[in-house]
Structure 1
Protein backbone atom coordinates (compact mmCIF):
# COMPACT_ATOMS: atom_id res chain seq x y z
CA UNK A 1 0.00 0.00 0.00
CA UNK A 2 1.14 3.52 -0.62
CA UNK A 3 1.87 5.62 2.44
CA UNK A 4 1.22 9.32 2.75
CA UNK A 5 4.03 11.52 3.93
CA UNK A 6 3.49 14.54 6.10
CA UNK A 7 4.11 18.01 4.69
CA UNK A 8 7.51 18.36 3.00
CA UNK A 9 10.24 19.69 5.26
CA UNK A 10 10.40 22.97 3.34
CA UNK A 11 6.73 23.68 3.98
CA UNK A 12 7.08 22.86 7.66
CA UNK A 13 10.14 25.07 7.96
CA UNK A 14 8.33 27.95 6.24
CA UNK A 15 5.21 27.47 8.34
CA UNK A 16 7.36 27.36 11.46
CA UNK A 17 9.43 30.47 10.74
CA UNK A 18 7.65 32.43 13.41
CA UNK A 19 6.73 31.34 16.87
CA UNK A 20 5.11 33.69 19.33
CA UNK A 21 6.98 33.56 22.61
CA UNK A 22 4.04 34.85 24.59
CA UNK A 23 1.32 37.48 24.58
CA UNK A 24 2.68 40.82 23.51
CA UNK A 25 6.23 39.62 22.89
CA UNK A 26 8.12 39.86 19.65
CA UNK A 27 7.99 36.65 17.60
CA UNK A 28 11.37 35.08 16.98
CA UNK A 29 12.67 32.97 14.13
CA UNK A 30 13.17 29.29 14.81
CA UNK A 31 15.66 27.08 12.99
CA UNK A 32 14.42 24.77 10.26
CA UNK A 33 13.30 21.41 11.62
CA UNK A 34 14.67 18.07 10.55
CA UNK A 35 12.70 16.30 7.81
CA UNK A 36 9.40 15.04 9.22
CA UNK A 37 8.88 11.33 9.77
CA UNK A 38 6.87 9.31 7.30
CA UNK A 39 3.21 9.23 8.30
CA UNK A 40 1.67 5.91 9.23
CA UNK A 41 -1.57 6.87 7.46
CA UNK A 42 -2.36 4.30 4.78
CA UNK A 43 -4.29 5.57 1.76
CA UNK A 44 -7.79 4.23 1.32
CA UNK A 45 -10.54 4.74 -1.23
CA UNK A 46 -13.19 4.26 1.46
CA UNK A 47 -15.12 7.44 2.23
CA UNK A 48 -18.47 8.60 3.54
CA UNK A 49 -20.68 11.66 3.10
CA UNK A 50 -18.81 13.52 5.86
CA UNK A 51 -15.48 13.03 4.08
CA UNK A 52 -16.96 14.41 0.87
CA UNK A 53 -18.62 17.37 2.59
CA UNK A 54 -15.39 18.16 4.46
CA UNK A 55 -13.48 18.40 1.19
CA UNK A 56 -16.27 20.25 -0.64
CA UNK A 57 -16.40 22.82 2.18
CA UNK A 58 -12.64 23.04 2.64
CA UNK A 59 -11.64 23.63 -0.99
CA UNK A 60 -13.58 26.92 -1.39
CA UNK A 61 -12.70 27.89 2.18
CA UNK A 62 -9.00 27.43 1.42
CA UNK A 63 -9.35 29.38 -1.83
CA UNK A 64 -10.94 32.28 0.07
CA UNK A 65 -8.07 32.05 2.55
CA UNK A 66 -5.61 32.33 -0.30
CA UNK A 67 -7.35 35.52 -1.45
CA UNK A 68 -7.07 36.93 2.08
CA UNK A 69 -3.38 36.16 2.66
CA UNK A 70 -2.37 37.39 -0.79
CA UNK A 71 -3.71 40.83 0.15
CA UNK A 72 -0.86 41.14 2.65
CA UNK A 73 1.83 40.74 -0.02
CA UNK A 74 1.90 44.38 -1.11
CA UNK A 75 0.37 46.10 1.91
CA UNK A 76 1.92 47.87 4.88
CA UNK A 77 2.05 45.06 7.44
CA UNK A 78 4.81 43.94 9.79
CA UNK A 79 7.41 41.59 8.31
CA UNK A 80 6.35 38.74 10.61
CA UNK A 81 2.72 39.08 9.51
CA UNK A 82 3.81 39.05 5.86
CA UNK A 83 5.96 35.95 6.48
CA UNK A 84 3.11 34.10 8.19
CA UNK A 85 0.74 35.01 5.34
CA UNK A 86 3.26 33.60 2.81
CA UNK A 87 3.59 30.38 4.84
CA UNK A 88 -0.19 30.00 4.99
CA UNK A 89 -0.37 30.44 1.21
CA UNK A 90 2.17 27.66 0.56
CA UNK A 91 0.45 25.26 2.97
CA UNK A 92 -3.06 25.89 1.72
CA UNK A 93 -2.08 25.55 -1.94
CA UNK A 94 -0.66 22.11 -1.15
CA UNK A 95 -3.78 21.14 0.80
CA UNK A 96 -6.09 22.25 -2.04
CA UNK A 97 -4.11 20.07 -4.46
CA UNK A 98 -4.57 17.03 -2.20
CA UNK A 99 -8.26 17.66 -1.59
CA UNK A 100 -9.19 18.19 -5.24
CA UNK A 101 -7.26 15.04 -6.15
CA UNK A 102 -9.18 12.98 -3.57
CA UNK A 103 -12.52 14.29 -4.80
CA UNK A 104 -11.55 13.44 -8.38
CA UNK A 105 -10.38 9.97 -7.31
CA UNK A 106 -13.72 9.41 -5.55
CA UNK A 107 -15.61 10.74 -8.59
CA UNK A 108 -17.22 13.44 -6.46
CA UNK A 109 -17.86 17.05 -7.53
CA UNK A 110 -15.56 19.73 -6.15
CA UNK A 111 -18.55 21.79 -5.05
CA UNK A 112 -21.64 20.63 -3.17
CA UNK A 113 -23.93 23.28 -4.64
CA UNK A 114 -25.19 26.77 -3.87
CA UNK A 115 -28.19 25.93 -1.69
CA UNK A 116 -27.48 27.44 1.77
CA UNK A 117 -29.55 24.63 3.35
CA UNK A 118 -26.92 22.09 2.26
CA UNK A 119 -24.82 23.02 5.27
CA UNK A 120 -27.63 23.61 7.76
CA UNK A 121 -27.07 20.26 9.48
CA UNK A 122 -23.50 21.09 10.48
CA UNK A 123 -23.63 24.72 11.55
CA UNK A 124 -23.59 26.52 8.19
CA UNK A 125 -21.01 26.65 5.44
CA UNK A 126 -18.31 28.42 7.53
CA UNK A 127 -17.25 30.51 4.54
CA UNK A 128 -15.75 33.99 4.43
CA UNK A 129 -17.92 36.05 2.11
CA UNK A 130 -16.54 37.70 -1.02
CA UNK A 131 -17.94 40.95 0.39
CA UNK A 132 -15.78 40.64 3.53
CA UNK A 133 -12.69 40.02 1.41
CA UNK A 134 -13.53 42.97 -0.86
CA UNK A 135 -14.00 45.18 2.20
CA UNK A 136 -10.57 44.14 3.49
CA UNK A 137 -9.03 44.87 0.08
CA UNK A 138 -10.51 48.37 0.20
CA UNK A 139 -9.23 49.09 3.72
CA UNK A 140 -6.79 51.99 3.98
CA UNK A 141 -3.16 51.34 4.83
CA UNK A 142 -3.46 52.72 8.37
CA UNK A 143 -6.17 50.22 9.28
CA UNK A 144 -5.27 47.32 7.01
CA UNK A 145 -3.13 45.19 9.32
CA UNK A 146 -5.69 45.14 12.14
CA UNK A 147 -8.53 44.38 9.70
CA UNK A 148 -6.42 41.68 8.04
CA UNK A 149 -5.61 40.00 11.33
CA UNK A 150 -9.22 40.06 12.49
CA UNK A 151 -10.58 38.61 9.24
CA UNK A 152 -7.87 35.93 9.07
CA UNK A 153 -8.52 34.92 12.70
CA UNK A 154 -12.23 34.49 11.95
CA UNK A 155 -11.43 32.62 8.74
CA UNK A 156 -9.04 30.20 10.45
CA UNK A 157 -11.54 29.69 13.27
CA UNK A 158 -13.99 28.47 10.62
CA UNK A 159 -11.30 26.11 9.26
CA UNK A 160 -11.02 24.60 12.75
CA UNK A 161 -14.80 24.10 12.85
CA UNK A 162 -14.81 22.36 9.45
CA UNK A 163 -11.89 20.13 10.48
CA UNK A 164 -13.68 19.19 13.71
CA UNK A 165 -16.64 17.89 11.68
CA UNK A 166 -14.32 15.57 9.74
CA UNK A 167 -12.43 14.43 12.83
CA UNK A 168 -15.73 13.40 14.43
CA UNK A 169 -17.60 11.93 11.46
CA UNK A 170 -15.24 11.06 8.62
CA UNK A 171 -13.89 7.60 7.85
CA UNK A 172 -11.28 8.19 5.13
CA UNK A 173 -7.85 8.00 6.81
CA UNK A 174 -6.08 10.57 4.65
CA UNK A 175 -8.95 13.06 4.95
CA UNK A 176 -9.07 12.54 8.73
CA UNK A 177 -5.29 13.01 8.94
CA UNK A 178 -5.53 16.26 6.97
CA UNK A 179 -8.39 17.42 9.22
CA UNK A 180 -6.28 16.75 12.31
CA UNK A 181 -3.37 18.72 10.85
CA UNK A 182 -5.66 21.60 9.86
CA UNK A 183 -7.23 21.61 13.33
CA UNK A 184 -3.83 21.81 15.04
CA UNK A 185 -2.14 24.24 12.64
CA UNK A 186 -5.02 26.70 12.43
CA UNK A 187 -5.46 26.66 16.20
CA UNK A 188 -1.77 27.58 16.52
CA UNK A 189 -2.10 30.27 13.84
CA UNK A 190 -5.07 31.83 15.65
CA UNK A 191 -3.01 32.09 18.85
CA UNK A 192 -0.15 33.67 16.90
CA UNK A 193 -2.44 36.11 15.10
CA UNK A 194 -4.09 37.12 18.37
CA UNK A 195 -0.62 37.89 19.70
CA UNK A 196 -0.09 40.33 16.84
CA UNK A 197 -3.24 42.19 17.84
CA UNK A 198 -1.95 42.89 21.38
Structure 2
Protein backbone atom coordinates (compact mmCIF):
# COMPACT_ATOMS: atom_id res chain seq x y z
CA UNK A 1 0.00 0.00 0.00
CA UNK A 2 2.90 2.34 0.78
CA UNK A 3 4.34 1.84 -2.72
CA UNK A 4 0.94 2.61 -4.27
CA UNK A 5 0.69 5.80 -2.22
CA UNK A 6 4.20 6.81 -3.31
CA UNK A 7 3.38 5.96 -6.94
CA UNK A 8 0.17 7.99 -6.91
CA UNK A 9 1.99 10.94 -5.33
CA UNK A 10 4.62 10.64 -8.04
CA UNK A 11 1.98 10.55 -10.75
CA UNK A 12 0.39 13.68 -9.36
CA UNK A 13 3.79 15.38 -9.32
CA UNK A 14 4.43 14.32 -12.92
CA UNK A 15 1.07 15.69 -13.96
CA UNK A 16 1.83 18.97 -12.26
CA UNK A 17 5.27 19.16 -13.86
CA UNK A 18 4.22 18.02 -17.29
CA UNK A 19 0.97 19.87 -17.67
CA UNK A 20 1.14 23.21 -15.97
CA UNK A 21 3.98 25.69 -16.10
CA UNK A 22 5.79 24.04 -19.00
CA UNK A 23 2.75 24.28 -21.24
CA UNK A 24 2.10 27.88 -20.22
CA UNK A 25 5.75 28.93 -20.54
CA UNK A 26 6.34 27.36 -23.94
CA UNK A 27 3.82 28.29 -26.61
CA UNK A 28 3.15 25.69 -29.27
CA UNK A 29 5.60 25.74 -32.17
CA UNK A 30 4.71 28.10 -34.98
CA UNK A 31 2.17 26.90 -37.46
CA UNK A 32 4.82 26.87 -40.14
CA UNK A 33 5.06 23.53 -41.83
CA UNK A 34 7.64 21.50 -43.64
CA UNK A 35 6.63 19.38 -46.56
CA UNK A 36 7.80 15.84 -46.97
CA UNK A 37 8.93 15.20 -50.49
CA UNK A 38 8.43 11.47 -50.06
CA UNK A 39 4.94 11.55 -48.59
CA UNK A 40 3.67 15.02 -49.50
CA UNK A 41 2.41 15.45 -45.91
CA UNK A 42 2.69 18.47 -43.68
CA UNK A 43 4.18 18.34 -40.22
CA UNK A 44 5.60 20.72 -37.65
CA UNK A 45 8.24 20.60 -34.92
CA UNK A 46 5.74 19.26 -32.39
CA UNK A 47 4.93 16.29 -34.65
CA UNK A 48 8.63 15.44 -34.92
CA UNK A 49 9.22 15.96 -31.18
CA UNK A 50 6.22 13.74 -30.39
CA UNK A 51 7.63 10.91 -32.47
CA UNK A 52 11.15 11.44 -31.10
CA UNK A 53 9.73 11.07 -27.58
CA UNK A 54 7.17 8.35 -28.30
CA UNK A 55 9.43 5.90 -30.17
CA UNK A 56 11.94 5.38 -27.33
CA UNK A 57 9.10 5.52 -24.80
CA UNK A 58 7.30 2.72 -26.65
CA UNK A 59 10.51 0.69 -26.86
CA UNK A 60 10.98 0.99 -23.10
CA UNK A 61 7.37 -0.11 -22.68
CA UNK A 62 8.10 -3.16 -24.81
CA UNK A 63 10.97 -4.06 -22.48
CA UNK A 64 8.63 -3.76 -19.51
CA UNK A 65 5.81 -5.90 -20.93
CA UNK A 66 8.22 -8.56 -22.18
CA UNK A 67 9.22 -9.11 -18.55
CA UNK A 68 5.63 -10.09 -17.77
CA UNK A 69 5.77 -12.73 -20.50
CA UNK A 70 8.66 -14.42 -18.71
CA UNK A 71 7.39 -14.14 -15.14
CA UNK A 72 4.60 -15.59 -13.05
CA UNK A 73 1.72 -13.09 -13.21
CA UNK A 74 -2.06 -13.48 -13.33
CA UNK A 75 -3.48 -14.47 -16.72
CA UNK A 76 -5.31 -11.12 -17.02
CA UNK A 77 -2.06 -9.24 -16.47
CA UNK A 78 -0.24 -11.44 -18.99
CA UNK A 79 -3.03 -10.89 -21.55
CA UNK A 80 -2.88 -7.12 -21.12
CA UNK A 81 0.92 -7.16 -21.43
CA UNK A 82 0.64 -9.15 -24.68
CA UNK A 83 -1.93 -6.72 -26.08
CA UNK A 84 0.27 -3.76 -25.18
CA UNK A 85 3.20 -5.45 -26.93
CA UNK A 86 1.28 -5.98 -30.19
CA UNK A 87 -0.09 -2.42 -30.18
CA UNK A 88 3.21 -0.74 -29.40
CA UNK A 89 5.16 -2.74 -31.99
CA UNK A 90 2.67 -1.58 -34.63
CA UNK A 91 2.81 2.02 -33.41
CA UNK A 92 6.63 2.06 -33.46
CA UNK A 93 6.57 0.80 -37.05
CA UNK A 94 4.19 3.61 -38.06
CA UNK A 95 6.12 6.31 -36.21
CA UNK A 96 9.53 5.35 -37.57
CA UNK A 97 8.07 5.20 -41.08
CA UNK A 98 6.62 8.71 -40.72
CA UNK A 99 9.96 10.05 -39.57
CA UNK A 100 11.65 8.43 -42.57
CA UNK A 101 8.97 9.80 -44.93
CA UNK A 102 9.49 13.29 -43.48
CA UNK A 103 13.26 13.06 -43.88
CA UNK A 104 13.76 13.26 -40.11
CA UNK A 105 16.20 11.22 -38.00
CA UNK A 106 14.71 8.46 -35.88
CA UNK A 107 16.15 9.92 -32.67
CA UNK A 108 16.69 13.46 -31.44
CA UNK A 109 19.51 12.67 -29.02
CA UNK A 110 19.75 12.62 -25.24
CA UNK A 111 20.53 16.22 -24.36
CA UNK A 112 18.48 17.44 -21.36
CA UNK A 113 17.87 20.73 -23.20
CA UNK A 114 15.79 18.83 -25.75
CA UNK A 115 13.13 18.23 -23.10
CA UNK A 116 13.17 21.65 -21.42
CA UNK A 117 10.26 23.11 -23.39
CA UNK A 118 7.79 20.30 -22.80
CA UNK A 119 7.92 19.43 -19.13
CA UNK A 120 11.00 17.23 -19.02
CA UNK A 121 11.94 13.75 -20.08
CA UNK A 122 8.93 11.41 -19.94
CA UNK A 123 10.86 8.16 -20.34
CA UNK A 124 11.15 5.21 -17.99
CA UNK A 125 14.79 4.80 -17.07
CA UNK A 126 16.77 1.68 -17.94
CA UNK A 127 17.61 1.46 -14.23
CA UNK A 128 13.91 1.21 -13.34
CA UNK A 129 13.43 -1.56 -15.88
CA UNK A 130 16.52 -3.39 -14.59
CA UNK A 131 15.21 -3.06 -11.04
CA UNK A 132 11.90 -4.58 -12.14
CA UNK A 133 13.73 -7.44 -13.87
CA UNK A 134 15.58 -8.17 -10.61
CA UNK A 135 12.43 -8.11 -8.47
CA UNK A 136 11.83 -11.37 -6.56
CA UNK A 137 8.97 -13.53 -7.92
CA UNK A 138 6.67 -12.92 -4.96
CA UNK A 139 6.87 -9.14 -5.48
CA UNK A 140 7.12 -9.00 -9.27
CA UNK A 141 3.49 -8.55 -10.28
CA UNK A 142 2.90 -5.60 -7.97
CA UNK A 143 6.16 -3.96 -9.01
CA UNK A 144 5.32 -4.57 -12.68
CA UNK A 145 1.89 -3.00 -12.33
CA UNK A 146 3.28 0.03 -10.50
CA UNK A 147 6.01 0.65 -13.07
CA UNK A 148 3.65 0.15 -16.00
CA UNK A 149 1.10 2.59 -14.52
CA UNK A 150 3.77 5.29 -14.31
CA UNK A 151 5.03 4.44 -17.78
CA UNK A 152 1.57 4.65 -19.34
CA UNK A 153 0.91 7.91 -17.52
CA UNK A 154 3.98 9.32 -19.24
CA UNK A 155 2.59 8.14 -22.59
CA UNK A 156 -0.55 10.16 -21.87
CA UNK A 157 1.59 13.23 -21.16
CA UNK A 158 3.50 12.79 -24.43
CA UNK A 159 0.23 12.40 -26.33
CA UNK A 160 -1.11 15.63 -24.79
CA UNK A 161 1.79 17.55 -26.31
CA UNK A 162 0.91 16.33 -29.79
CA UNK A 163 -2.82 16.84 -29.34
CA UNK A 164 -2.23 20.47 -28.34
CA UNK A 165 0.49 21.49 -30.80
CA UNK A 166 0.82 18.96 -33.59
CA UNK A 167 -0.16 19.50 -37.20
CA UNK A 168 0.09 16.16 -38.98
CA UNK A 169 -3.31 14.41 -39.04
CA UNK A 170 -1.83 10.91 -38.70
CA UNK A 171 0.35 11.88 -35.74
CA UNK A 172 -2.54 13.69 -34.04
CA UNK A 173 -4.83 10.69 -34.59
CA UNK A 174 -2.18 8.41 -33.07
CA UNK A 175 -1.83 10.78 -30.11
CA UNK A 176 -5.59 10.62 -29.56
CA UNK A 177 -5.52 6.81 -29.63
CA UNK A 178 -2.56 6.73 -27.22
CA UNK A 179 -4.28 9.18 -24.88
CA UNK A 180 -7.51 7.15 -24.80
CA UNK A 181 -5.99 3.66 -24.68
CA UNK A 182 -3.31 4.41 -22.09
CA UNK A 183 -5.82 6.21 -19.87
CA UNK A 184 -8.03 3.09 -20.00
CA UNK A 185 -5.02 0.86 -19.32
CA UNK A 186 -4.09 2.90 -16.26
CA UNK A 187 -7.59 2.39 -14.86
CA UNK A 188 -7.35 -1.34 -15.60
CA UNK A 189 -3.90 -1.62 -14.01
CA UNK A 190 -5.05 0.24 -10.90
CA UNK A 191 -7.92 -2.24 -10.69
CA UNK A 192 -5.41 -5.11 -10.71
CA UNK A 193 -3.59 -3.47 -7.81
CA UNK A 194 -6.82 -2.98 -5.84
Which band: TM-score by shorter chain?
Answer: 0.7 to 0.9
Work out which of the residue numbers 58, 62, 66 in structure 2 matches 1:66: 62
**Contact 1:44–1:174 at 8 Å: present in 2 too?**
no
| Alignment RMSD (CA, Å) | 0.9
**Corresponding residue for residue 185 of structure 1:** 181
**Contact 1:65–1:155 at 8 Å: present in 2 too?**
yes
Question: Normalized against structure 2, the TM-score is what?
Answer: 0.79
**Corresponding residue for residue 145 of structure 1:** 141
Give yes or no for the alignment of 1:162 onto 2:158. yes
Please give the alpha-carbon distance, in whole angstroms, between the structure 1 residues aligned to 2:66 and 2:127. 16
Q: 1:140 to 1:103 in 2, by over 3 A?
A: same
Runs of 4+ in 1 over 4 A off after TM superposition: none
**Contact 1:160–1:187 at 8 Å: present in 2 too?**
yes
Please give the alpha-carbon distance, in whole angstroms, between the structure 2 residues aligned to 1:44 and 1:124. 31
Question: How do residues 1-198 of structure 1 correspond to structure 2 at under 5 angstroms?
Answer: 45-198=41-194
Cα deviation 1:27-72 (Å, max 9, x = unaligned): xxxxxxxxxxxxxxxx861000000000000000000000000000
Please give the alpha-carbon distance, in whole angstroms, between the structure 1 residues aligned to 2:63 and 2:158. 19
What 5-or-longer segments of structure 2 have no aligned partner? 1-38
**Corresponding residue for residue 26 of structure 2:** none
Question: Normalized against structure 1, the TM-score is what?
Answer: 0.78
Please give the alpha-carbon distance, in whole angstroms, between the structure 2 residues aligned to 1:145 and 1:98. 30
Question: How many positions carry a matched residue from both structures?
Answer: 156
